[in-house]
Chain A
Amino acid sequence: RKEVEQDPGPFNVPEGATVAFNCTYSNSASQSFFWYRQDCRKEPKLLMSVYSSGNEDGRFTAQLNRASQYISLLIRDSKLSDSATYLCVVNQVDGGYQKVTFGTGTKLQVIP
């Protein structure tokens, strides 16, 4: 089983739709979680951290389910500019060093 797994998509959604992605992780000792977005041929950019109680940033909501070992990202009122690949990231701290594992990403295409 992969350490971090994501559905590669693509998710094709119309503008204004709500879309959700999940990301599962295998190591129950994982300590922190993030969502990044990566545009085609660009570097990943931090979208948001994921907190245990869930958190929201504008149209984006992130949630963590430790019992089932997954994190989710919900995007409301999708915009054309949301088209990108969304990467989930899982961190563990081991001897002072962060072991960072990236998922392979979920591709989102928002259609006019």
Chain B
Amino acid sequence: SQTIHQWPATLVQPVGSPLSLECTVEGTSNPNLYWYRQAAGRGLQLLFYSVGIGQISSEVPQNLSASRPQDRQFILSSKKLLLSDSGFYLCAWSRTGRSQPQHFGDGTRLSIL
């Protein structure tokens, strides 16, 4: 069966510090991978998606970046965090093809001080 791991679960960072969140998927190959952010009481905002190694598409221009160094590894980064970067960050995967649902990791709750 497929599993998705995301860490850390909680993170408190000062403004201006860097960020690295990691997500890995097991039990499948060549998944589509996604990073979302959810602000408190709000809907999911798609940040990045990837259909393969080294292939990253950005949905929202901001101070975040993503990388996919391996088939089942997806990393979300920032060089300098802003207060507005606070939120609940979710990684998800799906199979390629039509009618494939996404499956989410447990999420990382990021607070910027």
Contact = CB atoms under 8 A, between A and B. Distances in A.
B7 interface: no
Interface of A: 31-32, 34, 41-46, 49, 87, 89, 91, 93, 96-98, 100, 102-105
B5 interface: no
Interface string B72-112: 00000000000000001010001011111111111101000
B102 A100 contact: yes
Given A43-B106, A98-B94, A104 B43 contact: yes
B16 to A, nearest CB: 26
B51 interface: yes
B106 A96 contact: no
Interface of B: 32, 34, 42-44, 46, 49, 51, 57, 88, 90, 94, 96-107, 109
A49 B105 contact: no
A46 B49 contact: no
Given A42-B107, A96-B96, A104 B51 contact: no
